[in-house]
Amino acid sequence: MKPVRTAAQAGVVECPQCTAIFPRSRAGSACTRCGAALNLRKPDSLRRTWAFLLAAMVLYLPANLLPIMTTGTLFGTQSNTIMSGVVYLWHDQSYFVAAVVFCASIVIPIFKLAVLLMLVVTTQARSTWRPLERTRLYGMVEAVGRWSMVDVFVVALLASLVHLDALATVRPEPGAIAFGAVVVLTMLASMSFDPRLIWDPVDVHDTKA
């Protein structure tokens, strides 16, 4: 890999909001133009990412094990988890909708959690393993994260699709709240992670202000 010069090596720190450049000694103070905090790296990035990520992983269990809704009809009530909702749609021959719900509510959240976990573990170990690929994976999580509201929307859609009989009532259950929390916590974990930390063990320099 071709050696590059980083901002920290050049003795400067960049404002994360207005991109003004200041001497490195100004790290820790505020930007004189827009007032944003100047930091060489996001403060406590790994600790914050760990906290949000662990909370998201813990809540992932109730999100998938608890019912997300109960539908009531004249003939009785039925509770569905995300997975049983997907199975219901599949048996109902709504293959496309079942596949979309499966991807948005199970595959993508697991992908995001797994990538973030791999990133915090390798970054904390100051690994120099495939920094470019790890940065790209982080970019993917950030790009997918922009569409996180789709995950929540799809689960809401699932609630309306599973039982659309007349006189049916749909009541949200705790699993839906846990699922929403997983989505939000994953976004916070992804926002807290500083991808520049991936490169710090590669370009050996100290980034302490």
CA distance 68 to 80: 6
Q: Is the dihedral of CA 136, 137, 138, 141 positive or negative?
A: positive
Nearer to Zn ion among residue 40 and residue 46 (C-beta): 40
Task: Rule CB under 5 A: say whether 13 interacts with Zn ion.
Answer: no
Per CB under 5 A, the segment of 5-13, 31-39, 58-66, 160-168 that binds Zn ion is: 31-39
Q: How many residues bind Zn ion (CB under 5 A)?
A: 8
- Cα 70–chain centre separation: 27
- 3 state SS of 4: coil
Min dist. Cβ of residue 21 to Zn ion (A): 10
Task: Rule CB under 5 A: say whether 21 interacts with Zn ion.
Answer: no
Task: Rule CB under 5 A: say whether 15 interacts with Zn ion.
Answer: yes
Candidate list 27, 31, 46, 189; residue touching Zn ion; CB under 5 A? 31
Min dist. Cβ of residue 32 to Zn ion (A): 8
CA distance 14 to 21: 5
* Beta-carbon contacts of residue 1 (< 8 Å; ≥ 6 apart): 132, 202
CA distance 14 to 17: 9
The binding track of 33-52 with respect to Zn ion, each residue x by CB under 5 A or -, is xx-x----------------
What residues make contact with Zn ion under the rule CB under 5 A?
Answer: 15, 17-18, 20, 31, 33-34, 36
